[in-house]
Amino acid sequence: MVKKTNTATKKTAPAKERLTGFGPFDVPLGFRGLGMAAGLKASGRPDLTLFYSDFPCRAAAVFTKNKFAAAPITVCRESLRAEPENQRVILVNSGQANACTGKQGLATARAMAACAAKSLGLSPKQVMVASTGVIGQQIALAPAKKGITTLAREIASRSDWEMAARGIMTTDTFPKAAFMPVRIGGFTVKFLGFCKGAGMIHPNMATLLSFVLTDANIEQHALQSALSAAVATSFNMMTVDGDTSTNDTLIVHANGMTGNPLIRKGTAAFRIFSDALQEICERLAKQIARDGEGATKFVEISVVGAANSDDARAVAKSIATSNLVKTAIFGGDPNWGRIACAIGNAPARLRPQDVVVRLGGRLLFAKGGPAATPERLLAKAMKQKEIRIEVNLGAGRASATAWTCDLTYDYVRINADYRT
C-alpha cells in the first residue's frame, strides 16, 4: 500500500525511471506508472494500467460529446467535481469500452475505482477511470480487481512506463508517449503524455484515451483553460476515419512537485505552460494519425491566408476527412480535383481564383485551375511516406494545421471483423 499524504508541495528526489522505447528522459517528479496483462483480453496482451501520483494533483479533463458516453466518463466527471485539486490515480483498462453497458457497466466502473482506492489507501473520488475496446461488452470484474490489487501493490516500489503505455492499447501498432521539459520561473517543469488510438478517430474534444502528467504547480482553473485551448489546435485537428468514439477522454494531472510559484491565468508563466501543453498534445495527436488503422502514409494539411481561424480550421479538416482525398493518397494519385472539392465543401469564405494549393512543395492548383507542374513530379510527391498539402486561401492572415493518414484496404479489413 502506498502511504497517503495530503501535502501538494513537498518534493521527492528526481525520478530515476527511464522510458524504454520512448527515449532516455526522466519522468515528472512524484509520478509512477505500471501496466500488466490482467486477463481482460483474450490475446493475453497488457490490458490494465495504473498512473499514480505520490501527492495530490490538480486535475483537468475533456470528454467525448457522444450522447452514448461510456460509464467510466460518468465516474471521471464525478471524481473531477468532487476532488478537482486532490486527484491521485488514473486507472485504465483496454479490451472492453464499457460503453452502452447500462447499470451494470456503471457499477463496474465505480467498483474498479473503489478497488484501486482501497488498495492505495485513498478515497474513490481520488480515482479517475477510463476504458477502451469493444462497445457493449461488460468488463470481467474479478480479474480486473485482481489486477488492480496487484498493480497497487507493485507500484509502491517500481514503475514500468512502457508496460503502462502498452496496457492502454487496442489496435495500435506501437505505444505512444511524449516528453518535454520547460523552464518556468527558474524551475524545470516536466510533461509526460501517453495516448492510444488508431481507429474510430475523429475527435470532438480529445481523442480516445490520452493522459498527461506534469509536476507543474498550476491553479486548477488555469489548468482546465490551458487544456481546452491545447485540444482545439491538436487533437481536434486530427482525424483517421471520421468516427468520434464513445470513450474519448483526455486527463491532465498536475501535482506541483516542481515547487514553482503557483501559475495563474494571464501571466507569462501561464503562457509558457500553455504552449508546452499544446506541444505535448500535438506530438501525441500526430502519433495517432501516423498509426491510423491500416495507414501507410502520414498527411499534414497546412492552411494559411484564411479570413479567420474558424475558416482555416474548417478547410484543413475538410481535406483531412475527405475519403476521396485519403484514398487518392493511398493510391499515389495526385488528384487535385478531390482536394479542390474538399476545400470548396468547407464552410469558409474564399474565392476559387484566389486559392493556391501545393503538394509536397510543388504547385498543384492556382488561379482557378491546375498548375503546369509535370504529373510525374506530383506523382513522386504522392509516393512519400509523409505528405504535406499546403493551401493558401488568399482571404486573410489566419492559419491552421490538421493531420490525417491515408485510407487503405487494411482499414476495411481491420474493421470488418473487429469483434471476431
Q: CATH number, domain at 378?
A: 3.10.20.340
pTM of this prediction? 0.89
User: Cα 99 from chain centroid?
Assistant: 19
User: Closest Cα to residue 129, out of 83, 82, 90?
Assistant: 90
pLDDT tens track for 105-139: 999 999 999 999 999 999 999 999 999 999 999 99
User: What's residue 241's pLDDT?
Assistant: 72
Contact indicator for 31, 51 with CB cutoff of 8 Å? yes
In this structure, is residue 1 part of a structural domain? Answer: no
Q: What is the tens place of the pLDDT at every residue in 226-257? A: 999 999 999 999 988 776 788 999 999 999 99
**Do 222 and 126 belong to one domain?**
yes
285, with CB counted inside 10 A (0-12, 13-18, 19+), is: buried
User: Mean of the pLDDT values across residues 326-338?
Assistant: 93
Is 170 annotated in the active site?
no
Q: Which of 49, 108, 170, 207 is catalytic?
A: 207
Domain boundary among 290, 321, 343: 290
Together in a domain, 315 and 264: no
Helix axes 336-345, 309-321, angle to 10 degrees: 130
Domain count, the chain: 2
> What is the rounded average pLDDT of the residues 145-163?
95
Question: pLDDT (tens digit, 9 = 90+) per residue, 342-382?
Answer: 999 999 999 999 999 999 999 999 999 999 999 999 999 99
Q: Does residue 14 have a pLDDT over 80?
A: no
The number of angstroms, rounded, from the C-alpha of 261 to the middle of its chain's C-alpha atoms is 28
Place 199 in a pLDDT band, splitting at 50, 70 and 90.
Answer: low
C-beta of residue 31 within 8 angstroms of C-beta of residue 192: yes
Q: Confidence class of residue 225 from pLDDT cuts 50, 70 and 90? A: very high
**Residue 62: beta bridge partners?**
250
pLDDT of residue 18 exceeding 70, the answer is no
pLDDT band at 262 (very low <50, low <70, confident <90, very high): very high
Query: Is the same domain home to 306 and 286?
Result: no
Q: Which of 240, 256, 290 marks a domain boundary?
A: 290
Q: Which domain holds residue 366?
A: 298-416
Q: Are residues 345 and 318 in the same domain?
A: yes
69 and 190 share one domain: yes
Q: How far is CA 231 from the centre of its chain?
A: 9
Task: Give yes or no for a contact between 265 and 219, defined as CB atoms under 8 angstroms apart.
Answer: yes
pLDDT at 24: 54
Contact predicate 249/94, CB 8 Å:
no
Same domain, 161 and 83: yes
CA 97/CA 109 separation, integer angstroms: 11
